[in-house]
Structure 1
Amino acid sequence: MRPRRFPHLPVFALATAALLLAGCASGPIKRVSEPTASIQQLSVGADGQWTVDLRLQNFSNVPMRFDQVALTLRTGDEAAGELKASPALTIGPESVDTLSIKLTPSAPARLLIAGTLADRRSLSYRLEGTINAAAEDRKPREYDIKRESALSPVPGLPGVMR
């Protein structure tokens, strides 16, 4: 009778299969990344009020609930005002949603944007503050936001910048 070449092969195959199945049981890794905020659109009303469409971006691979937004808006070198909201908005994984916030701008910011719109120029802005957000099964966390960008007048839409 000849000796078997690989007497432990069935045990090895069974152990390998068990390890593979155990690795699959944990599922995908949940990655929570810092969200960002930017202005998607700023509309100046006839009464001087601004409507700021704030773009909230979730870079995580899990849904996140955005509970509070507290951002200071500066246009050019002028403090325009505070963007505050409690949206309780859930944004899907690696997705974006917008939040409209009414703002009564400061007088210097109001004059600055009026001149910018009249001259059809772009306007730099800066957002600084915090966003309070939580992944689906975690405690809310405060994220610091610092964002600089620019808005330009939209042709054919008076008082609107994107």
Structure 2
Amino acid sequence: MFRRLYRLIPVVLALGLIACGPPRKSVFPPSVSIQEMTVRPDGQWQLTVRIQNNSYAGMNFRSIDGELRVAELVPVRLHATFDLDIPAFAGDITQVNLLPTPEMSQALAAAAAKGSGGSVPYSVAGRANAKPEQDKDARDFEFHGNDWLSPVPGIPHTWR
């Protein structure tokens, strides 16, 4: 009886060690916001989009696909592909060019006429495609965010 028990103990210990593999790190959706926006001479907007990794694991971000809504007007598509390795709880930026609607441009011009006291609300929503460091495949993460764009004093056609 004791011989069988002595043979079983190493098997149970080995199974216990196998179950103690590396812990999985928690993964959460990123935050996406506009860090800076420049109105180019051709009317396009060049956005500096900030992606904040809110996870306990580093992630390789590959694309965002969503919409930008300015001042509750009709939204425009916000889409970009890139390759950003963002460590846990860190952020990085990417450039996105888009063509705004005439109403969006008018809302921005009205806020700019107010000087540094003018601002325009915006919201972004969509999906960010990323591969967490512990996963084999990339997956989509939903993002939603809103904030304000205000003209930068002394730098024409630039908003933050």
TM-score, length-normalised on structure 2? 0.80
Task: Say whether the 8 Å CA contact 2:66–2:78 is kept in structure 1.
Answer: yes
Q: What is the CA RMSD across the aligned residues, in angstroms?
A: 1.9
**Per the alignment, do residues 144 and 32 of structure 1 end up closer, same or farther by CA in structure 2, a change over 3 Å counting?**
same
Pair 1:54-2:49 in alignment: yes
> 2:9 maps to what in 1?
none
Pair 1:150-2:148 in alignment: yes
- Out of 138, 144, 157, the position equivalent to 1:159 is 157
**Per the alignment, do residues 46 and 118 of structure 1 end up closer, same or farther by CA in structure 2, a change over 3 Å counting?**
farther
> How far off its partner does 1:119 sit?
1.7
Task: Say whether the 8 Å CA contact 1:80–1:109 is kept in structure 2.
Answer: no
Q: Secondary structure at the match of 1:69?
A: strand
- Out of 115, 125, 129, the position equivalent to 1:128 is 125
Structure 1: how far apart are the matches of 2:24 and 2:67? 34
Q: Secondary structure at the match of 2:112?
A: helix
> 2:103 maps to what in 1?
108
Pair 1:94-2:124 in alignment: no
Unaligned runs of 5+ in 2: 1-12
> 1:74 maps to what in 2?
69
Structure 2: how far apart are the matches of 1:140 and 1:79? 31
* Sequence identity (%): 31
Structure 1: how far apart are the matches of 2:90 and 2:59? 10
Larger radius of gyration: 1
Structure 2: how far apart are the matches of 1:144 and 1:27? 27
TM-score, length-normalised on structure 1? 0.79
Unaligned runs of 5+ in 1: 1-17
> 2:29 maps to what in 1?
34
Task: Say whether the 8 Å CA contact 1:36–1:58 is kept in structure 2.
Answer: yes
Structure 2: how far apart are the matches of 1:80 and 1:110? 12
